[in-house]
Structure 1
């Protein structure tokens, strides 16, 4: 693989104009496709394999055409203190709103709360349900205006009027204001790391190109595959983070190879062949982890995983082609300041000394050769001098001298942070999690106060009485038995289909939709199914938004451990192939588990327990978004492999070239420690930018990923890993002979490229390579 990527890097370097032109065409093509593609329609999310979905499918079959796909608005009216909504003046205001809404051309129906009995017992609150003909995404501002104007007029009367539902809800943005700040922080980190604006700008430019292609492609395919805005947001988040990091690793290795005396052409090939190999491997682990989400069996999760995997794949190709092409245009601009000055002076001198009759291309080639030669000569002294200490090597020496205390501190620290995972509760936060500044949240609170906390999350009971001799009597019996269940506040009168063999009941719990008591109530009703159905000849199933959220949470919770086992097994196998070791993969896997569990613990503490939630704009703590933990596991796995490969591969490279195990750790950190820290800071800043998003899932994932990178890169890879390697010594690289014969050789370190670039390796004076013990 290293040899193939070496040739790819050289090809992109030589044919840089063609490469850039091709990427320009891809970007334009994706933009045109996104512009001409039809807008994605609101698609009904299906959750196969759960009771809620089965009940919903039964309703669709037995009540054809009854379910409207149009957007709804639940208009909530609250009378001023000391007044009733049923008083003459307030009643007239409510009826005017219903009348004006019903007359709007885009409205299918508007239900009068006084006719429907939608008034609270104390008479202080009422609600009207307005159903539109179109979905929320298809409604225009002009179509919503008559209803909104009627609501505004009602507010002017002195009544409190709030609106729930999706019809008049504000469209939320996936990202927040700090998303741009995150990119600026990334730019600052790159400038500090490289000391060059060009070297800092190149990873940002290529990452933006990759994200642009990915997001535009998702827009072009959204209608075909039913992709949501969350899909695009996740792809953008991951594509930007890994895109910057992958380009960072290639550019960093290019600078290192130039510092060893290689020409720009040779250094580009070596950078793509070595760092590019690690990019491919690390990127593939992210892709596999994301694509593997299909095993959960939830279509929405599958599409989001595949879309994000596609964005990562684009970032890999960009790092392997566009980055070396741009290096061809600015071969010296990305170098440290001292070498840039040497190259610039040599180039000027070569141009001044060129023969007057020489052609422009000949003079340019001479200037390039002169600059390369000057940089090589200036680097020769550094190559043969004793390695200079930096922050990475000093930290590694500190850890290798005290490996046991560092190991114990890192494990205990992450373990304590992970403890809240034991109380992990999965769910699907709704309007109650939105800001109190939103009318949806205020409508939710008003309904909960006027009609009880369970009103916002009724359970829909679908009764199939086809097998009963007297369907109506059977439904009545089930209705009465459900009404007598502890925790059920009320059960509505049954609504039968035309055939009279199926009925729908609405059971209102006495607790809120996200309360654990509601989860227990659903379990109780389903658990008592046999006695409730006894003697009726009918069967029933429980569905509704609340039951659906409970079922999805349980399905994902059941899939989390098998998925984690799959990811851990994959990590062991891949790392065993890369490092040809048994204990290094075990160490990496344990570190991954520590970081992901600690990240989940932090998410539970903030978003479920509410610790510091207000600092992140979280209005209401509650259950963790059902899909979030499994996304976190998959993504963190891939990111953890990034840092593991880039850091430990350099340690292994030093070890097989004759250094002692502890000295190899120091050398590996000297070469890669600073870059890994910079990459981690960049990822953290990008992910943290999404914490300001209004969409709950994006906010939670952004925080989870940012904190996971903090734990994995700065605690596990910087402390846990070197401490374990120092304690294991030569045993870290042990591999039984049977496994050594079976496992394929993957040249992530680029050992086969020795001498391929036409320049001697700077470490050619070191002892000859030796294989780790047991290989």
Structure 2
């Protein structure tokens, strides 16, 4: 590999313009592909096969109107007063005209909804009044019948007495018999009327039961409103034909454009995140500042403007090719809005670092008198060889995201891997080309003058490279204190991770003043926090229920739901045609990202079947977010094991040691948990939130831990490689194990420190993005690199290597024979080409 890279470097240096034009042509092809194939990126996330997904599938089969995406358009008065009649009419007119929008299936007028609810309450009250009136009439009828029967009983007694007297006197009873007949007929009529009254009573009781059930359901739904109590805010519910992940961004934008096109005086319109969640800007002011800081670090490290510009040029060009080229496939593969941002982060950071490693090696060789093109080839074969293996580690970690079974995460990893791969190719081709064009101008005038003197001295005495300066190993007590101190510090920083919660962002995390943030806060203030995270509960009903049975089942389910802790309102919203599936809207006490809402979802899923045979399922955006978060946490250990396992194999081949890779991995685990702790403290607990401009705290982005595992492990192994390879090189060339640690550390510390600062600067620039998602990713990567590079790689790792001594380089003989010798340091290449 080293020899191949040496030749590639010399070729690129000699044919610089061919290489440069080729890359520009590739960028042009990527731009053309982007123009042709780009599709707006998705702002939502989902995982197939979740519990919420199964409920949604069932709804799509039985109640398709509820299976599509939905969102809210929120109207509020600017002065806080109730809507005027004119404003209400204008809002209703907008709602009436929105049915023709693309993929929109229904738009609900909030004022009509409130009127219907009020009318329903009035109708129920009227029905109760009529029932009470009917009951009074029945009671009166029963009293009259009872009185009539009493009168007939009295008449019967009198008639019986008359019959006895007539019989005793021998008088005929014809008249008495006629009276008896009339009496019996009257009694039969009264019994008939009593039967009718009983039937009427049964009918009235049935109506009363139905009315009481309706009143009970209406009572449960009291907390669900579409117009605020003070009349200053209204929610327009918009339903779409397509599912959330299938809904194009253009359809959401059409809703926004429509409702914003006709402004209403004194009324502000905003949109829920389901409709208007912002797609984060790929590059902004914070990112530009990060690049400026990286440029300053490069200038200080390399001491030349030309040398400092080259890594920036290659990184920016590589990012352009990688990100633009990847987004050209967004029409074929679903991509989330975070995907290109991650590509930019990684492409810039590793692109600058990888070019820096090669340029730094080339400058050292130039100063030592090596001819320009020979030095470029050697730098590409040595430092470039290390870049290839370092990049391979990052690529392996990113591609392994595909094993999580989470589609959007796999795409993010693939795009990130593509950007890193392009950064590697840019470093080993474009960087040598630029170095070839620069020639000796890469050095300052003073450095060029010293170079001439060095060459003259070599020619005069035919001198070899100067001997390495004497180096003393660190003291053992210092190594022990350093190791203990580093471990303790990392563990302390990691403590907040014990309480880390994960979730997806809601409208409260959107930029202040944005439509989504305004809508979220308006709904929270006017309708309650839970109105932003309503759950959709599906109840599977038993077969054979008639309409009355369905109503009773709805009340039983609603009662069960209302009995749950942290439920403020429940409303039945639909029943399937076959009476086998009923849907309910459940409003929790708190917002979609709260712990209580998460627990409520778990409790509802664990609820015993209602009435013994009615099972419940939970869907809705809040439920989907919870499912995604839990699934990602479940795959994290598997992903961590696979990434570490594959990378350990690579490092064993590179370092020809078992303990060095294990030390590197153990240090990474410490820095990873420290990063989790810092993320929790800042984004969940709110520490330093004001300093970073974080206006809302909450759970950590659900897929961030998985992403950090992959990216930080790959980057950590980069620095491990550049430091430990120097240690191994010194050890192989005869230095004692402890001296080799110190010599390798001194040889690599400057470039690793610069590379670490550059990565922290680039990632840190994204901390000031408007998107909380991007903020947390940028902070996590910046803090992770900072801790791993400066605490683990430059303090803990050398200290442990010193304490272990020769054992650090132990490798079983049988394993030494079967693993390939990758010569990542390029020592064999240097011997072949007699580097000075």
Report if TM-score (shorter chain) is over 0.5. yes
Residue 404 of structure 1, aligned match among 480, 484, 498: 480
- Greater shift in the superposed pair: 302-311 or 484-493: 484-493
Correspondences of 1:36-115 after superposition (within 5 Å): 36-40=36-40, 42=42, 45-64=45-64, 67-68=67-68, 72-77=71-76, 85=82, 90-103=84-97, 106=101, 108=104, 109-115=106-112
Per-residue CA deviation, residues 103-132 of structure 1 (Å, 9 max, x unaligned), is 366485542212213234565543223568
Q: Match of 2:465, SS? A: helix
Query: What does residue 300 of structure 2 align with?
Result: 192
- Relative distance call for 1:543 and 1:375 in structure 2 (3 A) is farther
CA contact (8 A) 2:43 2:279 kept: no
After TM superposition, the score normalised by the length of structure 2 is 0.80
Residue 532 of structure 1, aligned match among 601, 609, 612: 609
Query: What does residue 660 of structure 1 align with?
Result: 736
CA contact (8 A) 1:690 1:699 kept: yes
Correspondences of 1:215-614 after superposition (within 5 Å): 215-335=323-443, 337-341=445-449, 383-384=465-466, 387=469, 402-465=478-541, 467=543, 472=550, 474-528=553-607, 531-536=608-613, 538-614=614-690
- Relative distance call for 1:380 and 1:283 in structure 2 (3 A) is farther
CA contact (8 A) 1:263 1:373 kept: no
Q: Match of 2:266, SS? A: helix
Shift of 1:615: 1.4
| Pair 1:147 & 2:141 matched | no
CA contact (8 A) 1:399 1:723 kept: no
After TM superposition, the score normalised by the length of structure 1 is 0.86
Shift of 1:73: 4.2
Shift of 1:748: 0.6
Residue 719 of structure 1, aligned match among 792, 795, 818: 795
Number of residue-to-residue matches in the alignment: 715
Shift of 1:706: 0.4
Per-residue CA deviation, residues 350-405 of structure 1 (Å, 9 max, x unaligned), is xxxxxxxxxxxxxxxxxxxxx995596599879326639xxxx8xx9667671111
CA contact (8 A) 1:218 1:227 kept: no
Shift of 1:275: 1.1
- Relative distance call for 1:422 and 1:598 in structure 2 (3 A) is same
Q: Take 1:399 and 1:697, find their aligned partners in 2: how far apart are those partners?
A: 45
Q: Take 2:467 and 2:460, find their aligned partners in 1: how far apart are those partners?
A: 12
Shift of 1:149: 5.0
Shift of 1:61: 2.5
Q: Match of 1:77, SS? A: strand
Q: Take 1:686 and 1:324, find their aligned partners in 2: how far apart are those partners?
A: 23
Q: Take 2:330 and 2:425, find their aligned partners in 1: how far apart are those partners?
A: 22
- Greater shift in the superposed pair: 737-746 or 464-473: 464-473
Q: Match of 1:288, SS? A: helix
Q: Take 1:665 and 1:577, find their aligned partners in 2: how far apart are those partners?
A: 19
CA contact (8 A) 2:652 2:658 kept: yes
Q: Match of 1:541, SS? A: strand
Correspondences of 1:662-701 after superposition (within 5 Å): 662-701=738-777
Per-residue CA deviation, residues 145-176 of structure 1 (Å, 9 max, x unaligned), is 55225445233xxxx66543454666542433
CA contact (8 A) 2:280 2:774 kept: no
CA contact (8 A) 1:9 1:268 kept: yes
Shift of 1:642: 0.4
Per-residue CA deviation, residues 44-72 of structure 1 (Å, 9 max, x unaligned), is 75412310111112222223465555x84
- Greater shift in the superposed pair: 284-293 or 506-515: 506-515
Shift of 1:690: 0.7
Q: Take 2:672 and 2:694, find their aligned partners in 1: how far apart are those partners?
A: 22
CA contact (8 A) 2:43 2:336 kept: no
Q: Take 1:520 and 1:98, find their aligned partners in 2: how far apart are those partners?
A: 38
- Relative distance call for 1:219 and 1:374 in structure 2 (3 A) is farther
Q: Match of 2:323, SS? A: helix
- Relative distance call for 1:650 and 1:154 in structure 2 (3 A) is same
Query: What does residue 724 of structure 2 align with?
Result: 648
- Greater shift in the superposed pair: 260-269 or 131-140: 131-140
- Relative distance call for 1:130 and 1:63 in structure 2 (3 A) is closer
Larger CA Rg, structure 1 vs 2: 2
CA contact (8 A) 1:175 1:689 kept: no
Q: Take 1:695 and 1:330, find their aligned partners in 2: how far apart are those partners?
A: 40
CA contact (8 A) 2:43 2:337 kept: no
Shift of 1:584: 1.0
Per-residue CA deviation, residues 731-764 of structure 1 (Å, 9 max, x unaligned), is 111112232223222211112214322x3x55xx
Per-residue CA deviation, residues 299-325 of structure 1 (Å, 9 max, x unaligned), is 111111111111001111111111112
| Pair 1:183 & 2:180 matched | no
Query: What does residue 358 of structure 1 align with?
Result: none
Q: Take 2:428 and 2:47, find their aligned partners in 1: how far apart are those partners?
A: 38
- Relative distance call for 1:603 and 1:96 in structure 2 (3 A) is same
Q: Match of 1:478, SS? A: helix
Query: What does residue 631 of structure 1 align with?
Result: 707
Q: Take 1:378 and 1:288, find their aligned partners in 2: how far apart are those partners?
A: 49
Q: Superposition RMSD on alpha carbons, in Å? A: 2.9
Shift of 1:634: 0.6
- Relative distance call for 1:642 and 1:174 in structure 2 (3 A) is same
Per-residue CA deviation, residues 314-359 of structure 1 (Å, 9 max, x unaligned), is 111111111112222122122354332466xx7xxxxxxxxxxxxx
- Relative distance call for 1:147 and 1:374 in structure 2 (3 A) is farther
Query: What does residue 174 of structure 2 align with?
Result: none
- Relative distance call for 1:400 and 1:218 in structure 2 (3 A) is farther
Q: Take 1:461 and 1:678, find their aligned partners in 2: how far apart are those partners?
A: 54
Per-residue CA deviation, residues 565-588 of structure 1 (Å, 9 max, x unaligned), is 222323332222211112111111
| Pair 1:617 & 2:702 matched | no
- Relative distance call for 1:216 and 1:307 in structure 2 (3 A) is same
- Relative distance call for 1:505 and 1:15 in structure 2 (3 A) is same
- Relative distance call for 1:699 and 1:650 in structure 2 (3 A) is same
Q: Take 2:461 and 2:489, find their aligned partners in 1: how far apart are those partners?
A: 43
- Relative distance call for 1:468 and 1:588 in structure 2 (3 A) is farther
| Pair 1:20 & 2:14 matched | no
Shift of 1:469: 5.1
Q: Take 1:31 and 1:533, find their aligned partners in 2: how far apart are those partners?
A: 58
